[in-house]
């Protein structure tokens, strides 16, 4: 079973939060790294407001703070069982509680646990913010796969061995949960996850191997995309996000290096979005960011301003912004602020941003297409498209208008 | 806040004159061993141009070994000026002094002095003349660059055999056509640009890691990066050289 909260009142009204599988979850305002549910905009909520214990025998909630309040169905409580349909109120936020069937991957344990020795590692394909990706081959089947290896970031636990062990177990558990959730994603434009494993402190993912390159590499090697390819990439990316969002999954790390352009022997390109679920693990401090290699630099160029202020805060709007930033890059070879790096951080902190107008950087981009991408990049959430689907529709309309104009 | 991470060279500087002589010895020997062959060559050039035309084969090695021994035993590394932030310039300066000292003693048939290197002559030009000094330093820089490229290629090979093959093929034939490279890399021709892009990127990471290990600060590193540029451009194909000095914000 999964535990779902639908927020019906408060600053984050409309959000749906899903906790996958049994476990103990901390609910609170942003600022506590242990909190599983964070509502940063609710100032009346404590950082560690309440704890939910969700197990086979039932679901219980208890208040953790001495100053805050907890109400269930209008009654103030210190601790109480939660039932499907209960209305829970904490701080200024109300939410209804539901228990739902577990997602298919969790129910069927669809993501196989694998051992690293089952694969022959070939060349390293690259290093990202999360770890190294290798070309590999399944020794039993000969299947070509890609393996991403990384270690949980335990630096915050210091040198205390016990703390490191418990931190590691928690990080691994969190990661496995996220990966299983992501494994339900089966879409032609999403990289398939084939398995998952753990070798001592190291975690690894087995993924389908894509012959081709990333969007980042494509732009660096061949220059900016022409309009037909841009539209193909944009539609694929937005469809993948629409599909994932419908399943309640936010990517959080959409960027040109996570968008792979698979190329078949005839040269046909199929865009595929990778690294689902990893962004959330990264925000929760599960990953070891390989900053020593400088590889993580630049990721923030594609993040939404609200995500930079609070990495754990993620809604569909975060992915909409990052998709806009990715498409902006595909058309210009530059981040959305152009060369104006100096003011970037101050602007982002204010939530205003200083967009370098797309057509000033690349005048060949039709005005209607530029307008769609720039709206996706609105620094304030309320000025942005509300969903990836909406961006896709706006882009289609702009492309159709252009095609119509060309026909005349 | 500095983003500069500890390197082998900063670790050695930090360990000098500290309580853990064993850690200091291990760190110093580890770094020194990587460049020993180069130092012996350099000491040989210095000795010959200081007038040692009848130099025995092992004399340059003896100079280098004396340099290593004194670094370890006499703790004069802690007296080395901290602003000599690059291992390359530090080693070059001090080895030249050792070579000169060796020649002095050789001529006077004296034994090695008990103290560390003489501090009164810092400049190789003052020992052998400006033209000779320039020529020796040029040879040293050339060899140093070759050595760095070899180290970076070995590290690249450890991560990706294909990427190392790509860089070596470009070094051998900078204008090799796509078909030739595709055959060497065992990929389709249309995949060659992506393979070269990845190879250059990985090689750049490894090369700069090697250079960083011999620098004390980010400023030293940037200086060293600039100083090596003409030599790297000499050995590498133009596109690989450009990629080394490209946009550092690439993700």
The encoded tokens of residue A400 equal: 């159709």
The encoded tokens of residue A135 equal: 């070309």
Task: Report the C-alpha gap between A289 and A130 in whole angstroms.
Answer: 5
The encoded tokens of residue A390 equal: 């909406």
**Residue A134 region by backbone torsions, left for phi larger than 0, else alpha for psi between -120 and 50, else beta:** beta
Residue B80 clears pLDDT 80, i.e. is over it: no
pLDDT at B207 (0 to 100): 95
pLDDT at B202 (0 to 100): 94
pLDDT at A294 (0 to 100): 35
Q: Which helix (H) or strand (E) holds A266?
A: none
Contact list in B for residue A120 (CB cut-off 8 A) is none
Count of helices and strands (H, E) across chain B: 11, 0
Give the mean pLDDT of A270-292: 60
Task: Of A356-370, B58-72, B76-90, B112-126, give the lowest mean pLDDT range.
Answer: B112-126
Residue A108 clears pLDDT 50, i.e. is over it: no
Mean pLDDT for all residues in chain B: 81
pTM: 0.72
pLDDT at A297 (0 to 100): 41
* Residue B159 touches chain A, beta carbons under 8 Å: yes
**CB-CB: which of A123, A293, A299 is closest to B205?**
A293
Q: Sorting pLDDT into bands at 50, 70 and 90, what band is A151? A: low
Q: Do B248 and A297 touch (CB under 8 A)?
A: yes
Beta strands, E only, A350-405: none
Sheet holding A132-138, edge to edge: A119-127, A132-138, A144-150, A202-208, A193-199
Contact list in B for residue A127 (CB cut-off 8 A) is 205
pLDDT at A164 (0 to 100): 62
Task: Report the C-alpha gap between A262 and A272 in whole angstroms.
Answer: 7
Q: Do A221 and B197 touch (CB under 8 A)?
A: yes
* Residue A282 touches chain B, beta carbons under 8 Å: no
ipTM of the complex: 0.73
* Residue B5 touches chain A, beta carbons under 8 Å: yes
Task: Report the C-alpha gap between A114 and A189 in whole angstroms.
Answer: 24
The encoded tokens of residue B60 equal: 């340059």
Query: Based on the number of CB atoms within 10 Å of its own CB, is B56 exposed (0-12), middle (13-18) or buried (19 or more)?
Result: exposed
pLDDT, one tens digit per residue, over A4-52 is 888 888 877 777 777 766 667 778 876 555 556 667 677 788 878 888 8
Q: Are A323 and A376 in contact (CB under 8 A)?
A: yes
pLDDT at A276 (0 to 100): 78
Residue A58's beta-bridge partner residues?
A: A55
Question: From the CA of B91, how many Å to the nearest CA of chain A?
Answer: 26
pLDDT, one tens digit per residue, over B7-66 is 888 877 777 666 777 887 888 888 888 888 888 888 888 888 777 666 776 888 888 888
pLDDT at A287 (0 to 100): 43
* Residue B120 touches chain A, beta carbons under 8 Å: no
pLDDT at B1 (0 to 100): 41
A253 is catalytic: yes
**Which residues are CB-contacts of A317 (< 8 A; sequence separation ≥ 6)?**
A304, A306, A381, A384, A386
Beta strands, E only, A151-192: none
Task: Of A51-65, A174-188, B85-99, give the lowest mean pLDDT range.
Answer: A174-188
Residue A154 backbone dihedrals phi, psi, to 5 degrees:
-110, 15
Residue A349 clears pLDDT 60, i.e. is over it: no
Q: Which of residues 136-165 of A touch B (CB under 8 A)?
A: none
Q: At what angle do helices B192-212 and B130-159 cross, to 10 degrees?
A: 120
Q: Sorting pLDDT into bands at 50, 70 and 90, what band is A320? A: very high
The encoded tokens of residue A188 equal: 């032609």
**Which residues are CB-contacts of B22 (< 8 A; sequence separation ≥ 6)?**
none
**Which residues are CB-contacts of A142 (< 8 A; sequence separation ≥ 6)?**
none
Beta strands, E only, A82-138: 87-90, 93-100, 119-127, 132-138
pLDDT at B120 (0 to 100): 46
C-alpha A67, offset from chain centre: 33
**CB-CB: which of A124, A213, A221 is closest to B160?**
A124
Task: Report the C-alpha gap between A352 and A369 in whole angstroms.
Answer: 22
Tally Cβ neighbours within 10 Å of residue A228: 9
The overall longest dimension of chain B from CA atoms, in Å, is: 68
Contact list in B for residue A212 (CB cut-off 8 A) is 194
Task: Report the C-alpha gap between B175 and B195 in whole angstroms.
Answer: 16
Q: Sorting pLDDT into bands at 50, 70 and 90, what band is B192? A: very high
Report for A184-193, A223-232, A285-294, B242-251: range of highest mean pLDDT? A223-232
Report which of residues A140 and A54 the model is more confident about.
A140
> Counting every residue, how long is chain A?
408
CA-to-CA dists, residue A339 to A64, A131, A390, B5, angstroms? 47, 28, 29, 28
Q: Sorting pLDDT into bands at 50, 70 and 90, what band is A222? A: very high
Q: Do A297 and B162 touch (CB under 8 A)?
A: no
Q: Are B148 and B213 in contact (CB under 8 A)?
A: no
Residue A207's beta-bridge partner residues?
A: A146, A193
Mean pLDDT for all residues in chain A: 80
Contact list in B for residue A295 (CB cut-off 8 A) is 251
Q: Is A371 helix (H, G, I), strand (E, B) or coil?
A: helix
> Counting every residue, how long is chain B?
251
Q: Do B193 and A221 touch (CB under 8 A)?
A: yes
Report which of residues B31 and A210 the model is more confident about.
A210
C-alpha A62, offset from chain centre: 29
């Amino acid at each position: 079973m999964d535990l779902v909260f639908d927020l019906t009142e408060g600053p984050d009204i409309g959000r749906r939060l899903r906790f996958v599988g049994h476990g103990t979850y901390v609910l609170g305002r942003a600022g506590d790294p242990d909190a599983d549910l964070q509502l940063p905009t609710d100032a009346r909520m404590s950082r560690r407001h309440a704890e939910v214990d969700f197990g086979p025998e039932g679901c219980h909630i208890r208040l953790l703070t001495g100053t805050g309040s907890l109400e269930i169905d209008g009654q103030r409580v210190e601790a109480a069982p939660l039932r499907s349909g209960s209305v829970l109120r904490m701080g200024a936020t109300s939410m209804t509680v539901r228990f739902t069937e577990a997602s298919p991957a969790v129910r069927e344990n669809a993501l196989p646990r694998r051992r690293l020795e089952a694969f022959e590692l070939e060349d390293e394909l690259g290093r990202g913010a999360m770890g190294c990706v290798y070309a590999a081959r399944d020794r039993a089947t000969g299947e070509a796969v890609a393996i991403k290896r990384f270690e949980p970031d335990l630096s915050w636990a210091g040198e205390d061995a016990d703390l490191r062990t418990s931190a590691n177990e928690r990080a691994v558990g969190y990661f496995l949960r996220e990966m299983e959730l992501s494994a339900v994603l089966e879409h032609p434009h999403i990289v398939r996850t084939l398995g998952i494993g753990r070798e001592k402190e190291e975690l690894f993912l087995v993924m389908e191997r894509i012959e081709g390159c990333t969007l980042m590499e494509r732009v660096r090697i061949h220059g900016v995309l022409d309009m037909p390819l841009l539209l193909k990439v944009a539609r694929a990316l937005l469809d993948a996000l629409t599909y994932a969002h419908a399943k309640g999954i936010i990517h959080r790390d959409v960027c040109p290096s996570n968008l792979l352009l698979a190329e078949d022997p005839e040269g046909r390109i199929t865009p595929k979005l990778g690294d689902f679920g990893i962004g959330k693990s990264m925000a929760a401090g599960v990953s070891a960011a390989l900053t020593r290699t400088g590889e993580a630099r630049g990721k923030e160029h594609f993040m939404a301003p609200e995500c930079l202020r609070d990495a754990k805060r993620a809604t569909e709007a975060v992915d909409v912004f990052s998709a806009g930033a990715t498409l902006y890059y595909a058309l210009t070879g530059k981040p959305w602020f152009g060369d104006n790096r100096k003011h970037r951080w101050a602007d982002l902190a204010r939530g205003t941003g200083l967009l370098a107008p797309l057509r000033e950087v690349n005048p060949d981009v039709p005005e209607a297409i530029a307008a769609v991408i720039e709206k996706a990049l609105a620094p304030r959430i309320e000025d942005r498209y509300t969903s990836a689907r909406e961006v896709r529709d706006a882009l289609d309309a702009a492309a159709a208008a252009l095609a119509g104009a060309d026909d005349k | 806040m500095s983003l500069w991470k500890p390197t082998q060279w900063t670790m050695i500087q930090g360990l000098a004159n500290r309580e853990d002589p064993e850690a200091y010895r291990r760190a110093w020997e580890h770094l020194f061993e990587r460049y020993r062959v180069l130092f012996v060559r350099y000491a040989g050039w210095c000795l010959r141009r200081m007038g040692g035309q009848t130099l025995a084969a092992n004399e340059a090695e003896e100079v280098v070994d004396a340099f290593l021994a004194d670094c370890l035993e006499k703790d004069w590394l802690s007296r080395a000026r901290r602003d000599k932030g690059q291992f390359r310039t530090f080693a070059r300066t001090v080895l030249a002094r050792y070579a000169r000292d060796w020649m002095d003693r050789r001529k006077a048939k004296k034994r090695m002095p008990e103290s560390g290197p003489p501090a009164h002559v810092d400049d190789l030009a003052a020992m052998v003349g400006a033209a000779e000094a320039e020529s020796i330093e040029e040879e040293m820089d050339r060899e140093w660059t070759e050595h760095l490229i070899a180290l970076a290629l070995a590290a690249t090979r450890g991560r990706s055999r294909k990427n190392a093959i790509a860089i070596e093929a470009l070094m051998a034939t900078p204008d090799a056509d796509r078909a030739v490279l595709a055959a060497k890399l065992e990929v389709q021709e249309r995949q060659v640009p992506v393979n070269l892009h990845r190879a250059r990127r990985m090689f750049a990471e490894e090369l700069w890691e090697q250079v960083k290990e011999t620098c004390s600060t980010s400023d030293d590193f940037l200086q060293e990066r600039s100083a090596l540029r003409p030599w790297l451009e000499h050995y590498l194909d133009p596109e690989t050289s450009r990629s080394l000095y490209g946009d550092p914000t690439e993700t």
